[in-house]
Structure 1
């Protein structure tokens, strides 16, 4: 089939944009309508809780489920493309690629042809590029390997299809949880000027753009991709530890934290390695606050681990953009402490009133469903939250059919 016939056979870009315009109008109306209630009678968390605007978020999710379609480019072979790890700290790469690629089984969002799509996934696994292409023995620059492979892939799809060129990549994205994910765009900033990077390593000091890129959580899944569920930990009244952290010295922020607090206070329990008999998840479940300092990179699986344990996350970073800030108000379920105030951690956390702590902890339990992985994905879970962040960026982009 010729390209002209192909474009004529399927819905035009104008039709897609008309649908998005209706979605924008519906979301704006819901945001304004004070007495909005869900037609499905789902309980909406009050406006002043974990969401900036619960009504707008709910309606946006509804519109996304109704309309949003993702085309996964079919070019390329495993393991670099169409496959990724499904366990350990880089698991989101493989879980997301698998969710989108196995559309015959369950992906509601997978477009059956590219002319239906709102966005286009370049299905690389940065983890697998590092594992299979980067040769440490030859001291081959890892970031250069990534950049060359992704640029070559884009040249192929730009030559074969009209979609990259019509938007200069503005409706295309790549998802990566590896530390080197952000480097894909460094070598050729012009090529990736409009490209959406979906990253765990959402470091604003290294070029992460909160309005264009998407921050996603780092989740440390158990071996073989076991999908755990939140355990909620102890009741708030039974949490006897004020603050907890366990982790090796990994970057300047953790060095400061360990120097100030390691083995120095029974209320602020800081370990470089846990003593024999101590259980990491149990200690989290016994703690009111769980410290989540950045390492060499800003992302940490401790944020999700804390949320799963019903422990209020304490973000300690100078440049981290937390996930899903378009809809989630992190101040309602977490605490942020600047790096320079690490010596004041105990004073800061003790100054949180019992009433405020109970509200923070209750909101941690409320937000758990947004950080839970289900396969297949379910409304409002982690996969849907990632897709919703991408959906919002597509809503902010208006394309014109120039045929």
Structure 2
């Protein structure tokens, strides 16, 4: 038996799946429990939770119509300005989330696949969020009080420990997730009560969307927080949550935040990266090594050049899709004060419910790649400075903190999930 499969069998046995190894390759997605009798401790408790959410919705709706909000409500930060679609609505929703939101984290499963994931590399947000969620003040030990239920399973770890490169088969990885949700559905009443609608998972690995599709109820009903937020591959804007891919080369944001003022940025537009996917191929075909008028677009930098130094020298930084839509370049640009230029197909931008990306980034369609320089040069200095300053303003919402701080990326991910839960009404099956 494959070594990785032996490893996964050793720790998945704690789920109570004594025959897991014999069922792993034959398990069907239809086997996820969905129809057994639901036995709740307090059948009317869900009605109370829904009533509380209804009050929260009404309060947020009222704030959305107001022109001002009481600054005394928040000593740390009061959202304002055009970077937010509706700063009052966002602020009130955030404050209500902090006061009300309770999340139950299922305790089944042990690391490395469950409750843990690597916190480094470009997929590190997956591990960072799972670890933060384990110790979060939003966590409740009483599932009867929970608005949301978190499935603490790592797609990065599933790929690492379960995927057999020699066979290139997806079945083992998908069946790991199927068996896990089966255990949750068999041991607890909450998955079946809502068909997974008040449950969420988070994945930064590119394969997260495909692996999660193994369970129809999870794919259709649950909230999937994904780095690979591609609407052409099943990402649902009304249900799923786009999260930023963030690369922390030293494990923290030390040395990544900040950059020179707009007047000291001498490069018009910068990109450096390999030919990963058709978008980058088009970009490099038109612009590689054409450095005239401040355009610096190339595959690789010379040995005496530093990528982050080039970002800090630049007014605009190209954030082009690679093999998938997710890329850490977008956040790197915001971290260092460079205006992101997004060249992506079917990408759902992070926190788009709250943030107006048009106020701090530029979208370039594939058909306009040949016109890239002229489009950017036509942007007035006044508009560029406004875009740059707005990017500095929203930076706080993309920063990773240890431990998390209010309004940072961890809280913004939770807020996006909170909004989805607010818009989901779950009926108590014991009530008429």
| Shorter-chain TM-score tier | over 0.9
2:203: which partner in 1?
A: 176
| TM-score normalised by L of structure 1 | 0.93
Partner of 1:72: 105
Q: Taking structure 1 as reference, are residues 72 and 250 closer, same or farther at Cα in structure 2, changes over 3 Å only?
A: same
Q: 1:181 to 1:4 in 2, by over 3 A?
A: closer
C-alpha separation between the residues in 2 aligned to 1:66 and 1:190? 30
Aligned equivalents of 1:43, 1:184: Cα separation in 2: 38
Cα pair distance change 1:204/1:260, threshold 3 Å = same
User: Which of 133, 145, 163 is the aligned partner of 1:116?
Assistant: 145
CA distance in 1, matches of 2:246, 2:44: 37
1:55 and 1:146 map into 2 onto residues whose CA distance is: 43
Pair 1:15–1:307, CA change in 2 (3 A) = same
In the other structure, the counterpart of 2:88 is 55
**Aligned partners of 2:346, 2:40: CA distance in 1, in Å?**
45
Indicate which of 271, 285, 307 corresponds to 1:280. 307
Partner of 1:151: 178
Give 1:248's aligned residue.
Answer: 274
Q: Is the 8 Å Cα contact of residues 151 and 199 (structure 2) preserved in structure 1?
A: yes
TM-superposed CA distance for 1:190, in Å, is 4.8
Which segments of 5 or more consecutive residues in structure 2 lack a partner in the other structure? 1-36
Q: 2: distance between equivalents of 1:386 and 1:188?
A: 23
Would the aligned equivalents of 2:177 and 2:212 in 1 still touch at CA under 8 Å? no
Show the 5 A alignment for 1:3-402: 7-8=41-42, 12-38=45-71, 39-40=73-74, 44-47=78-81, 49-101=82-134, 103=135, 107-137=136-166, 139-141=167-169, 143-190=170-217, 192-223=219-250, 225-228=251-254, 230-266=256-292, 267-402=294-429
SS at 2:220 equivalent: coil
Mean Cα deviation higher: 324-333 or 120-129: 120-129
Distance 2:286 2:47 in 1: 59
Match of 2:14 in 1: none
Q: Give distance in 2, aligned partners of 1:13 and 1:254.
A: 49
Residue 192 of structure 1 and its aligned partner are, at CA, apart by 2.7
Provide Cα deviations, 1:278-308, integer angstroms capped at 9, x if missing partner: 1111110110000000001001100000000
1:146 deviation in Å? 2.6
What is the CA distance between 1:210 and its match in structure 2?
A: 1.0
Q: Distance in 1 between matches of 2:417 and 2:44?
A: 21
Do the aligned partners of residues 174 and 45 (structure 1) sit closer, same or farther apart at CA in structure 2, a change above 3 Å counting?
closer
Secondary structure of the residue that 1:7 maps to in structure 2?
coil
The equivalent of 2:3 in structure 1 is: none
Distance in 2 between residues matched to 1:372 and 1:108, nearest whole Å: 19
Measured in 2, the distance between the counterparts of 1:84 and 1:376 equals: 17
Report the Cα offset of residue 140 of structure 1: 3.5
CA-CA distance at 1:20 after TM superposition: 1.1
After TM superposition, where is structure 1 displaced by more than 4 Å over at least 4 residues in a row?
A: 3-6
Shift of residue 22 of structure 1? Answer: 1.5
Deviations 1:330-356 (A, max 9, x none): 000000000121111100000111111
Return the alpha-carbon distance in structure 1 between the equivalents of residues 327 and 337 of structure 2.
17
Structure 1 CA distance for aligned equivalents of residues 46 and 324 of structure 2: 39
Determine helix, strand or coil for the equivalent of 2:127: helix
| 8 Å CA contact 1:51, 1:329 repeated in 2 | yes
Give the secondary-structure state (helix, strand or coil) at the position aligned to 2:410: helix
Any idea what SS the aligned residue of 1:192 has? helix
Q: Find the counterpart in structure 1 of residue 19 from structure 2.
A: none
Q: What is the Cα deviation at residue 135 of structure 1? A: 1.2
Name whichever of 188-197 and 202-211 sits farther off. Answer: 188-197
How far off is 1:17 after superposition? 1.5
Q: Is the 8 A contact 2:316 2:340 kept in 1?
A: yes
Q: For 2:83 and 2:214, how far apart are their aligned partners in 1? A: 38
Deviation (angstroms), 1:230: 4.8
Contact between 1:233 and 1:282, CA under 8 Å: does it hold in 2? no
* Alignment size in residue pairs: 392
Name which of structure 1's ranges 262-271 and 236-245 shifts more when overlaid on structure 2: 262-271
CA drift at 1:155: 1.0
Shift of 1:46: 3.5
Please state whether the residue corresponding to 1:193 is helix, strand or coil. Answer: helix
Q: Structure 1 residues 276, 140: CA separation in 2 closer, same or farther (over 3 Å shift)?
A: closer
